[in-house]
Copies of this chain bind each other. A is one copy, B any other.
């Protein structure tokens, strides 16, 4: 069952993509869209709010909505699922566990995963590839309560998220990510097949269940010649933030 406002958002998105509304031009007013689709103004507003949050259109009180871009960049909703992201681009994801060990949680582990200090957690070092080429190095720490299921996975498993869902019903629902750049260390360089000190795009993240319980935290390093992140923003509101260290 698809909500009407999503259908309308879809139609508008497509109309913009095929340049029926060109970048810089104005969208029809709410009342006209409501009449056209046979819905109330509230439903139209829900639809255009979606496009606004996608950065496709801009909105200000008193003025007509304006088209800002014709296409939305690939969704980032799959950040936690490398495999789904690869599939959406029509590429093949692979994975390979380099090492894996059960260890007592450090203070950092305990804090990020909201566990008592010393709980046994699972540390996994995994290389992920696109079409066979190594792209990403994941250093992940899993909470004790999910560690057995992770340890039981095939070391070559291409989609950890999907397997864990099938095996245990676990859903990775929310994530908090911090992005910066680091120089490749010796191990990074060897496993990714690049030179030492090459710049890498690093994402440190904590992933939680739908209930807000932390499942894992990870230091992910992407080859910066292979991956980039993109984001829209506006004066009104924005989801990404910039932070200074120290």
Which A residues form the contact surface with B (CB < 8 A)?
23-24, 53-55, 58, 60, 63, 66-69, 72-80, 85, 89, 91, 114, 130, 135, 171-183, 197-202, 208, 210-213, 224-246
Contacts and interface: CB of A to CB of B under 8 A. Distances in A.
Contacts of A73: 241, 243
A76 B240 contact: yes
B177 A233 contact: yes
B228 A245 contact: yes
B232 A180 contact: no
A12 to B, nearest CB: 16
A179 B241 contact: no
A79 B236 CA distance: 12
A200 B201 CA distance: 9
A232 B176 contact: yes
B224 A242 contact: no
Contacts of A23: 114, 212
Contact of A240 (B66, B224, B225, B231): B231
Given A177-B233, A181-B181, A231-B239, 16 more contacts: A53-B239, A58-B173, A58-B210, A74-B242, A75-B237, A78-B242, A176-B231, A177-B230, A179-B230, A179-B231, A199-B199, A227-B244, A227-B245, A228-B242, A230-B241, A239-B240
Contacts of A224: 180-182
A129 to B, nearest CB: 11
A229 B212 contact: no
A67 to B, nearest CB: 7
B245 A225 contact: yes
Given A180-B228, A228-B179, A68 B212 contact: yes
Contact of A174 (B114, B175, B229, B233): B233
Contacts of A171: 235
